[in-house]
Structure 1
């Protein structure tokens, strides 16, 4: 059995990040809530934490836009992570004029933010995801890719390389590239696209099994069923990885004329969609009420936290922005209990501290007001 590592942030420091010239916070409990009126910077703190993993953060903002308006144009986030009694120090930031952000681990520069995945996994649920089930398929693909990344650290690079190869093929088609060049790039597209599709299917399968276990536990969140759908999935269902890759390569070659006319590649996993259904109501999640969609998302994230810990051996850190607003009191209390039982660290935000009154004793609540952050006394 895999031993699961419990990782928790014990300190977070922000410099010229969003509205914070300087913010230094210490965390001593696994469940942490930030409360206060809108516009005070609660989500900014969660965004800073999201930069302690691979990628562009929970808002996917341009790095230059994150710097404090009246600052130098640079920003920095540093943190201390405690895992099984050992401390690791992280630093990341952006310098105006540079192409990307820098990452340091224990004082040493690292080439890629993917190295952060060696130390911790971070999952998040933010209000922008409330329309996930009704929005465009691209949003659901990115959501699935983020879920896949937490259990397969190589997936982010795989997706990036696949998208780059697709852009190169489209450019060659537009410019009338030779057959030999097209064949070479199509080989890359087929290899990378097949690997991306297989990784996504694996995540959907594993997460589906975990959701069934969660349903058997009697949690008051609706159970979702998941499926990865699209023309590519239909065309390659039941095939081995090698046959799937060969078939994709044939589709690319046969579709050159059509794709040249369209100005884009019309077949492949870049067009796949994650379909989510509300099991109990036997209906697509997109047709569920706003409250049920939020509860479905919470159930998905809690199940994925379980899956991440089981597969990676690391209990993830959760970022749950405005998490309690659309949950009824019973579901809020059940969520806090579940988070406590999972034994992971979770950071939450809300406008009113009353939303977090049912949190267990092992909790911290910070109130944001008048440009500062204060710690509230434990609930009695």
Structure 2
């Protein structure tokens, strides 16, 4: 009998000390003090374009609400409550999470039960001063724009870029210091939403992650996106102001192959346009005026048409009709392959009209100038 009692006690101790199984779903239990029955509470996510999307909606009943679901990886959502201004960021992971909504100020609500939430709040606390500075500079920028103060805008742009660089340095340092934490992977994923992200720094931070993190399915997708973005940026790095414009060959309407290097003048404009492009056609009279005024002084223009869209029955006819109607007297080339045109892809053209302005050595000195700005730049270059 004594042995049985001892066995029973040992068994109870064993089972009471056994680690609870890891949850495979999340439950968010919310308390909503002083919020009426029937008021809707929303759990939202933000897509890559910054748009909010409702994941789940529940109603408050007796000052309580609950959300349930499953997460592959911890993800930043936010909670909104009808009639309560603002939104509450919450890191959702597969665990039991409690939210105590502060009706007076939702950002002061308390969240417990999410390890990722604690990490997120620690990270955000380190960002507070940087985000305040960005907010202040953005307010000044809006004021400068309303006053059309171009000098102030240029000054503020430089300051904003410097503070954003500080933000990137802070985030990358945080990732490197927490390279075993899945939240670091989340930060890289969030950074990918910014088309101007410093891909080299984030790519290096990703490569520094612990092997256990890099072996997941999400990591493989993030790595692919980082690599693709890196390759794109390396390609466009050769198209920045100060770089020599890449040479190309393309066919004229008579199927004669001509090259950029053969056509360059003292100043050269590469003009990407199309017959179907309304803004291009509206800008053409300005380009014609610049060409007529400065061609005898050494200006050359090469028009690269992106005609060939599916909506054109006869792309070549549309192209040539537009050339004649708009009186475009300079060299025109086109593969008639729409945005798949090899020259457009070489120059990473995503929208038109687009222009590259080159000096006598073929160096890119400006991009996408129109109207009077284009005229002034050509005139300046021809004087030098």
TM-score normalised by the chain length of structure 2 = 0.27
Greater RCO, 1 or 2 (C-alpha within 8 Å, sep 6+): 1
Question: Which is greater in Rg?
Answer: 2
TM-score normalised by the chain length of structure 1 = 0.27
